[in-house]
Structure 1
Amino acid sequence: MTVALINGRPISFTDTLDGDVAIVLSHGLFMDQSMFDAQVCILREHYRIITWDQRGHGQDTYVTEPFSLWDSADDLSALLVHLNIDKAVLLGMSQGGYVSLRAALRYPEKVQALVLIATHAGVEEENQKVVYSQLLSAWLENSLTDEIVQGVSTFILGADKELAKPWIKKWQTIDDNTLCLNFTALADRDDLAPALSKLQMPALVIWGNEDGAISAEQARQLEAGIIHSQFMEVVGAAHSVSMTHADIVNTKIKTFLTEALL
């Protein structure tokens, strides 16, 4: 893992270096670049893979000033500049998808293709914001009690308790201010749906049909809004489908990239 000063902030990233085509993988809320270990293992055989920790996540677990997902998109673009990469495939899961979409809209000349996992283009629905706000308040007031941990881990990772263990340890280290700023950046994002038609690069939308955060309608809206896109539904998968159903997801990504990058 390497640390570089990107837009005035230390950004941790890993670069496999080899490969003519670069793929930048952007993680979800409260996760970090290690969530893509299964993808890196497979995709590095044919591509140059870059994973990174967004603001307030991973190695950069402390933020003191408010930021937006557009700021994170600027970080992603600046990381490409730092690595002398003119154009890359952007792969994002959940929040990482929100960031990747914004990077593609602001810097389309830098994006070869999009892989959007468990994500969508709209704003947070009010009922979902209420759920998140209640969870955040409980987390701040009571720290990570067993009940809260169960709720967070089930929501993000499904029922796999072994998979959740290392992430729970990481969540317990997040300070309250960073927790709030991360949540605010996600919950207060703007609506990109009207702008999706501007995206001309090929895109793959992957969604698990048991995802409690992203509805089928939202996932389909994302696919329908991008002109050159295709859709994959993973039956039985919850939000972190790229972790819980890695083999299925990896196979689809490889096929998509082979076709999209011809």
Structure 2
Amino acid sequence: MPIININGTNIHYIDEGSGAETVVFSHGLLMNGGMFAAQMAALKGRYRCIAFDHRGQGKSAVTDDGYDMETLTEDAAGLIEALSLAPCHFVGLSMGGFVGMRLATRRPELLRSLTLIETSAEPEEKANVPRYRMLNFVARWFGLNIVAGQVMPIMFGQTFLNDSDRAEEKARWRQSIVSNDRIGITRAVKGVVDRASVADEIKQIDMPVLIIVGEEDVATVPEKSEKMHAAIAGSKLVRIDRAGHSSTIEAPQDVNRALEQFLDGVAVSDAADTEEANPA
């Protein structure tokens, strides 16, 4: 179980595969790096794949503070630098996307490309804030089991939740969510709810960008991905049918296909740029 100390915090990460380039995966709120298992399995034959757990979540340490998006971005940058991964392909889902956008605008030298999944450049919707704060309060004082029934339809689309053939998988992820440390996860939720907008910043992003969103995502609805796509010049948008906020789990083959095509395109573009710069 690899652990690395970044910014005074013990960060857990998964390290699989090998290759000249690295893909770094940054998970969503309530989850952990394991939500990218299918993507790592698909890519590890050609890339080194790193998936890390944000502080307070998964197997990373619970800290007293540092759950704001700016500090989480510093954590991600520190991990990339400490493991000598730059420039890497950064894949961020939901909260991981909040981090990815900040890296791309503030530390662009660390990234070769950026993939944003089920995320938004905007602050949390005002209409959602009271509900999320109440769920967070209940989870903090009475446990995550109490709120799991209300959280699951936010984290997953109805197709996945209603598929009887995937009942065991659904139960496993429900257990994963409720197994989070109550203190760490409620601090992480506050960091997400209180996050600032980066909608103006992302217009500066100058690297290959892929945006993926599930058509059934109710946490960050597809319209938010459409706005990011319009703001980031040259970005590619893929909408996935029958998937919600955890599309890497719900529709892994569709996500893998989009991600592999995107990374292949980045490689082709890099090769063309090299040939143009060094003609025979």
Map 1:17-166; keep pairs closer than 5 Å: 18-145=18-145, 148-158=147-157, 159=161, 161-166=167-172
1:204 is aligned with what amino acid? L
Give me the TM-score of the superposition, normalised by structure 1.
Answer: 0.94
1:136 is aligned with what amino acid? N
1:66 CA displacement: 4.5
Aligned residues of 1:64 and 1:177 also touching (Cα < 8 A): no
2:277 equivalent in structure 1: none
Does residue 201 in structure 1 map to residue 207 in structure 2?
yes
Task: Report runs of 4+ in structure 1 exceeding 3 Å deviation.
Answer: 170-176
2:92 is aligned with what amino acid? G
Aligned residues of 2:32 and 2:52 also touching (Cα < 8 A): yes
1 CA distance for matches of 2:117 and 2:22? Answer: 18
2:245 to 239, 245, 249: 239
Aligned residues of 2:105 and 2:204 also touching (Cα < 8 A): yes
1:155 CA displacement: 1.5
Q: Report Cα offsets for 1:83-119 as digits up to 9, x if no partner.
A: 1123001001111111111111111011111111000
Aligned residues of 2:156 and 2:217 also touching (Cα < 8 A): no
Distance change in 2, residues 1:260/1:135 (3 Å): same
2 CA distance for matches of 1:49 and 1:145? Answer: 32
1:166 CA displacement: 2.7
2 CA distance for matches of 1:31 and 1:136? Answer: 15
2 CA distance for matches of 1:112 and 1:221? Answer: 22
2 CA distance for matches of 1:243 and 1:166? Answer: 11
1:196 CA displacement: 1.0
Q: How many residues align?
A: 261
Say what the alpha-carbon RMSD is for the aligned residues: 1.6
2:275 equivalent in structure 1: none
1:254 equivalent in structure 2: 260
Q: Secondary structure at the match of 2:265?
A: helix
1:181 CA displacement: 1.2
Map 1:150-229; keep pairs closer than 5 Å: 150-158=149-157, 159=161, 161-229=167-235
1:68 CA displacement: 1.0
Aligned residues of 1:208 and 1:236 also touching (Cα < 8 A): yes
Aligned residues of 1:205 and 1:231 also touching (Cα < 8 A): yes
2:153 is aligned with what amino acid? T
Aligned residues of 2:11 and 2:61 also touching (Cα < 8 A): no
Q: Secondary structure at the match of 1:127?
A: coil
Which segment drifts farther, 19-28 or 66-75? Answer: 66-75
Distance change in 2, residues 1:17/1:163 (3 Å): closer
Q: Report Cα offsets for 1:215-236 as digits up to 9, x if no partner.
A: 2221111111111201001112
2 CA distance for matches of 1:173 and 1:17? Answer: 28
Give me the TM-score of the superposition, normalised by structure 2.
Answer: 0.88
Q: Report Cα offsets for 1:35-91 as digits up to 9, x if no partner.
A: 110000001121111110111111125222243111111111111111112300100
1:6 equivalent in structure 2: 6
Give the share of equivalent positions with the same residue, in percent: 29
1 CA distance for matches of 2:235 and 2:66? Answer: 33
Distance change in 2, residues 1:248/1:122 (3 Å): same
Distance change in 2, residues 1:137/1:105 (3 Å): same
1 CA distance for matches of 2:75 and 2:18? Answer: 22
